[in-house]
Structure 1
Amino acid sequence: MELLVRLSGLLAVLLLGTGLRTTGLLDAGRTARLNALAYYVALPALIFVSTYDRAIGGLLSPALLAGLLVVVLATAGLAWLVHRGRDSSERRSVAVVQSYHSNLGYLGLPLVAATFDADVTAVASVVLGVVTLTQLPLSILVLSRLNGADAAVWDELRGLATNPVLLSLLVGLTVGSIGLAVPGGVATGLDAVGSLALPLALLCVGASLQIDRPAVDFGATSAVVGLKIVCMPALAWLVFSALAVDPATFTAAVVMFGTPTAVSTFVFAAELGGDAEFASLNVFATTLASIATLFVLITLVG
């Protein structure tokens, strides 16, 4: 019951963001400022406090790294096969990318931190870093190659060097690995800031959810939803069970892969020649459907 109440609260905040956008209270400028606060302040603070007292060797095991790569690449390959018959390259590229590109930063890690203990949250921070380094270049490659937008690839990839999520993870793991002491007051303050990551992210995601009345392709969208929030976490369950990882690693990986399609895929689709209206619909569909599937998934692993 507690989990159901918590997820219902997440849905309420998500829909609040949509409502505030509809009424004009959360316009594009305010949404951008909230997004910057979440992305550059709250989420990096959450990642740092989750990792600053832990050595990288205790979090990033060979089994975790191998399992993450297998799940991402296998789901991407399956998506390529499922969507290979789409009518246009613009829609096919978006369908493939949105079938595996997870919303790990804005929903995954904050949700894990609010639901599980510090051990699971620390592993989830590493999952976020490793998968971001995998899925982001892969998504840019798929969209650019299928849509002929090669000129934009390097501009997008250069952003990885200044990605605040990756930088905060690197700093946190470095501090933990060399044993630097972080003053208690600093850690407490950062923990308070990090606790804002989930509500801020949900408001931003909610403000971004919209359907621009495209010619809805129920078959394609249903396939994206099924691959992203059903097949991907199921595959993660199988892979990490076979690898016999510890419970914290198993829980973090499975729940993180159960998150919906990232809102950023809509931005990438618009920039790299994909079907932006189709992308917007899929973000909306996977996000709303994931409220139910995450409840089931967290119940099973919890």
Structure 2
Amino acid sequence: MEVVGRLVGLLVVLLLGTGLRASGVLDTDRTARLNAVAYYVALPALIFVSTYEQAIGQLLSLALFVGLVFVLFTTAGLAWLVHRNRDSSGRQSVAVIQSYHSNIGYLGVPLIAATFEPAVAAIASVILGVVTLAQLPMSVLILSTLNGADAALGPKLRGLAKNPVLLSLLVGLTVGSVGLSVPGPAATGLDAVGSLALPLALLCVGASLEVDLPAIDYGATGAVVALKIVCMPALAWIVFSVLAVDTATFTAAVVMFATPTAVSTFVFAAELGGDTEFASLNVFVTTLLSMGSLFVLISLVG
């Protein structure tokens, strides 16, 4: 029942964000500022607090790395096969990337930190770093190639070097690996700030969701949903069971890959010639339905 209450609370906050946008309280400017607080302050604090007490060797194993890469690229390959005959390149490119590009930063790590023990959150933070470095350039490459858009990977990759989430992960792992101590008051303060990451992220996601019901392509959206929140976590379950990783690693990997499509895919679609209405719809539907699928999954692994 605790899991049910937690996920119902997440759904309420998500819909609250949508309601605040519809009422005009969270307009574009206010949502952008709220998003900046979540992205540049709360989430980095959460990542640092989750990792600063452990060395990287304790968190990132060869089995974890191999499993992450296999699940990500296998799902992307399946998405390519499923969506190869979509009626336009803009819709095809969006369908492919949204079938594997997970919201592991805004929703994955905060959800795990709020639900599981610290060891699971620490591994989830490392998963965030590894998967982000792979899925972001892959999504940009697919969108730009299929849509003929002019997108240089260099600036995107250089932008990763300034990413506050990845920087906080690097700092946290460095502190843990070197064995430095963090003063108690600082750790407590960062922990309090990090606890705001999930509600802020959900408000921002809710305020960013838009749906045009007459334009729904049920077949394409259904395929995206099936691949993202059913196939991908199921594949992760199988792969990490075969790899026989420890319980914390298994839990973190499966739940992270069960998160919905990232809101950033809508931004990439707008920049690189994708079908933005279709992208917005898929973000909304996968986010909404993932509240139920995550409940089932967390109940199974918890």
Q: Same fold (TM over 0.5)?
A: yes
Displacement of 1:213 after TM fit?
4.8
Displacement of 1:214 after TM fit?
5.8
What's 2:269 paired with? 269
Displacement of 1:152 after TM fit?
4.4
Contact map agreement 2:251 2:301 (CA 8 A) in 1: yes
Task: Name the CA distance, whole Å, in 2 between partners of 1:151 and 1:47.
Answer: 30
Displacement of 1:84 after TM fit?
0.4
What's 1:292 paired with? 292
**Structure 1 unpaired stretches of 5+:** none
Displacement of 1:239 after TM fit?
0.3
Partner of 2:215: helix, strand, or coil? coil
Contact map agreement 1:79 1:227 (CA 8 A) in 2: yes
What's 1:139 paired with? 139
Partner of 1:151: helix, strand, or coil? coil
Task: Name the CA distance, whole Å, in 1 between partners of 2:125 and 2:29.
Answer: 29
What's 1:50 paired with? 50
**Structure 2 unpaired stretches of 5+:** none
Given the alignment of the two structures, is residue 3 of structure 1 paired with residue 3 of structure 2, yes or no? yes
Contact map agreement 2:236 2:253 (CA 8 A) in 1: yes
> Structure 1, residues 18-68: CA drift from partner, whole Å, max 9, x if none?
000000001111100100000000000000000001000000000000000
Task: Name the CA distance, whole Å, in 1 between partners of 2:51 and 2:82.
Answer: 38
Equivalences for residues 66-81 of structure 1 within 5 A: 66-81=66-81
Contact map agreement 1:102 1:262 (CA 8 A) in 2: yes
| % same residue | 78
Equivalences for residues 54-203 of structure 1 within 5 A: 54-203=54-203
Aligned residue-pair number: 302
TM-score, reference length from structure 2: 0.99
Displacement of 1:155 after TM fit?
3.0
- Output the amino acid matched with 1:64: L
Task: Name the CA distance, whole Å, in 2 between partners of 1:214 and 1:265.
Answer: 22
Partner of 1:162: helix, strand, or coil? coil
- Output the amino acid matched with 1:160: L
Contact map agreement 2:104 2:262 (CA 8 A) in 1: yes
TM-score, reference length from structure 1: 0.99
What's 1:28 paired with? 28
What's 1:41 paired with? 41
Task: Name the CA distance, whole Å, in 1 between partners of 2:263 and 2:299.
Answer: 25
Partner of 2:151: helix, strand, or coil? helix
Displacement of 1:156 after TM fit?
2.6
What's 2:12 paired with? 12
Task: Name the CA distance, whole Å, in 2 between partners of 1:230 and 1:247.
Answer: 21
Equivalences for residues 216-235 of structure 1 within 5 A: 216-235=216-235
Contact map agreement 1:214 1:277 (CA 8 A) in 2: no
Partner of 2:26: helix, strand, or coil? coil
Instruction: Please identify, of 108-117 and 155-164, the stretch whose mean Cα deviation from structure 2 is larger.
Output: 155-164
Contact map agreement 2:26 2:207 (CA 8 A) in 1: yes
Contact map agreement 1:152 1:272 (CA 8 A) in 2: no
CA-atom RMSD, angstroms? 0.9
Contact map agreement 1:46 1:190 (CA 8 A) in 2: yes
- Output the amino acid matched with 2:147: N
Contact map agreement 1:52 1:174 (CA 8 A) in 2: yes
Residues 174 and 214 (structure 1), Cα distance of their counterparts in 2 relative to 1, 3 Å cut: farther
Partner of 1:84: helix, strand, or coil? coil
